[in-house]
A = this chain, B = another copy of it.
Amino acid sequence: MWMETESKAEGVRRGRASVALRALNGLRLCTGDMEVMDTYMQDRFYVVQLVMWGLRGVSRVILANNPLSGALIMAALCWESCWKALLGALGLLASTLTAVVMGQDSGEVSGGFHGFNGMLVSLLMGQLSSAGDWYWWLLLPACMGSASSVFLYSALSSVFKRWDLPVSVFPFNTVIMLYLLCTGPDNPYFPHHTAMPPGAPEPNGTKLIAIEVIRGIPLGVGQIYTCGALGPSLLILAAVLLYSPLLTVHALLGSAVGTLAGLSVAVNHHFLYSGLSGFNGSLGCMAVGGLFFTFSWRIHLLSIASAFLSAYADIALGNLLGTVGLPASSWASTLLSTLMLLLTGSLATYRIPTGQVMAPEHNLCSHSQWEAGNPAATDIQL
């Protein structure tokens, strides 16, 4: 009887352990780059593959590469506004299909590299349009702009590969700027809001509300997808957490640094409350802290420096472009990340070649394996 009970308890324990193990295994499969998905997808229908490429593209915007993260982010966009989610999906589809038709490298297409620029172009067009939601004519420039970003991506990659640099969101930034310049604020077909420079003066007597500033930090991560509400922003953070905890920490850290930078030069309060002050810092911090460099304490400090520089550069560019009514979008973080990747000296030894960039945890793991296994590898070679 006792033995029976024992064996039952044993069985329950074993069962629990096995469930925990399965859950852990499942989680392991769902986190990081989900490379297993690529193998699984190889012989599926084209449409299913296209959805998978699209979802990877969605997550690429925030430097992740995980279809589940992408699905979560699409859910966050739907939560914020279905019109926005529709525009994003259309941009993804338009740019991915353009890349297929143009005969771009299939690895890039399936990795979602062409999709994410197109998605951002469409999202920003919707965000900045002053014609309101569900203005169907906007789908036309959204499609065309997204498709144009593929041309830019392809051409810039020719130039950038000489220095092993990623093209990043340069195409998005260029296309959205040209679109806004092309239509102008009072266009009869495609009107849009003019951007307020971050240095715009405050009405007298307004005081800074600390809680709103702190609320701006998670909003800064949401602003990467033009999300201005707290709920969707947190869901986007959860999506990044699924890909990599280290990246999430840097996303929040960068956003906080950006807010600090904004405070130090007394930017407009709206800029702090809405999270616009944080999102460039966030992107700058994520790119350096773990993604393109193997994580270490030196790189952690570099990522903070990168966040500060991105944030200040964003304020500067925002003031400059604001004189002609344009937003600075993510020029600052894109330029600063590129700059950091070009650094010479002893910091360059931490750099991970662009082709081998994966989730920070994976990078860290393979780096320590490589360091540990180096003598063995040498032995084998001998």
Contacts and interface: CB of A to CB of B under 8 A. Distances in A.
A159 interface: yes
A309 B148 contact: yes
A186 interface: yes
A203 interface: no
Q: Which range holds the interface residue count of chain A?
A: 35 or more
B154 A163 contact: no
Chain B CB within 10 A, most for which of A102, A152, A320, A345? A345
Nearest to A336: B151
Interface in A84-120: 102-105
Interface string A336-351: 0011111111110000
A201 B319 CA distance: 26
A258 to B, nearest CB: 13
A89 to B, nearest CB: 23
Given A266-B188, A344-B158, A151 B339 contact: yes
Nearest to A148: B309
Contacts of A343: 102, 151, 154-155, 158
Interface string A188-219: 11100000000101000000000000000000
B104 A179 contact: no
A111 to B, nearest CB: 14
DSSP majority for the A interface? Answer: helix
Interface stretch (A32-40, A71-79, A310-318): A310-318
Interface in A342-366: 342-347
A272 B317 CA distance: 31
A184 interface: yes
25 contacts: A103-B345, A104-B345, A148-B309, A151-B339, A154-B342, A155-B341, A156-B342, A157-B344, A158-B343, A159-B342, A162-B162, A178-B317, A181-B315, A181-B316, A181-B319, A182-B199, A182-B313, A182-B315, A182-B316, A182-B319, A183-B265, A186-B201, A187-B265, A189-B266, A323-B324
Interface of A: 102-105, 144, 148, 151-152, 154-159, 162-163, 177-179, 181-184, 186-190, 199, 201, 264-266, 305, 308-309, 312-313, 315-317, 319-320, 323-324, 338-347
The 6 tightest CB contacts between A and B, nearest first, are A103-B346, A181-B316, A155-B342, A182-B316, A178-B316, A158-B342
